[in-house]
Amino acid sequence: MSIERRNFLRSAAALAPAAVLPHLLSPTPAAPASPALHPVGAGGDRYGHPHSLGFSSLAFKVASSDTGGAMFIIEHRNLLPGSGPALHLHYSQDEWFYVMDGEVAFQVGGERISLRSGDSVLGPRGIPHTFSPVGSPAHMLVAFAPAGKMEQYFVDASAHPELAATADFMNRYEVKWLGPSPFWKA
């Protein structure tokens, strides 16, 4: 592992607790968290109906309402090589990625890294980022803290996958579209 990559990963790992901890320790959540237990089985969706953006299957694992808006977690399955989101940034959310299977190339800010099963990286709010699997389909968990409008984005994007990576659509959910992903195939 190169020194530059190691330093980048150390920096990202150091930022993760600092970015998420204030939201988790906040004495007054944005809305009351759901007091009920909501187990979600392997491959299952919190609401029982998976979603799709056309390049992966999405399952909601932790709903925004479960955490009083502090966090939202999704699972990407069968994330296809050469696909992924447009280059974007979140105004209010930190986005954490955990690769469960496969290899995924990430761009976070000006850095490009490749992560494999068991690796993770944080995309801090206000920092441009995108990702795409390399070679074969990948499987990831993605967390947003706080949840913001991200759950509604994925609900609406599943209904209109052709709009999901467009500037006007993304901007409705406090996500700034910056351009096409550098990983998309021409």
In a domain, 32, yes or no: no
Per-residue pLDDT band for 5 (boundaries 50, 70, 90) equals: very low
Q: What is the pLDDT of residues 87-102, one digit of tens each?
A: 999 999 999 999 999 9
Q: Is residue 122 part of a domain?
A: yes
**Token representation of residue 163:** 């709009």
Residue 154: CATH number of its domain:
2.60.120.10
Range of the domain at 102: 3-24+45-178
pTM, two decimals, is 0.80
56 token code pair: 């992966």
In a domain, 138, yes or no: yes
| Residue 149: Cβ within 10 Å count | 18
Whether 148 is in a domain gets the answer yes
Nearest to 144, CA basis, from 128, 122, 127, 164: 122
Residue 29 is assigned to a structural domain of this protein: no
pLDDT band at 34 (very low <50, low <70, confident <90, very high): low
**Sheet with 111-116: strands ordered across:** 111-116, 103-108, 129-133, 87-90, 175-179
Least confident range of 17-21, 46-50, 69-73, 79-83: 17-21
Among residues 14, 12, 166, which one has the least CA distance to residue 97? 12
Which residue would you say has higher pLDDT here, 23 or 63? 63
Is residue 33 assigned to a domain?
no
Least confident of 4-8, 58-62, 110-114: 4-8
Domain presence at residue 88? yes
pLDDT at position 30: 53
Number of domains comprising the chain? 1
**Structure confidence at residue 56 as a pLDDT band (50, 70, 90):** confident
The pLDDT assigned to 4 comes to: 57
**Rg of the Cα atoms in the chain:** 16
Domain-located, residue 78: yes
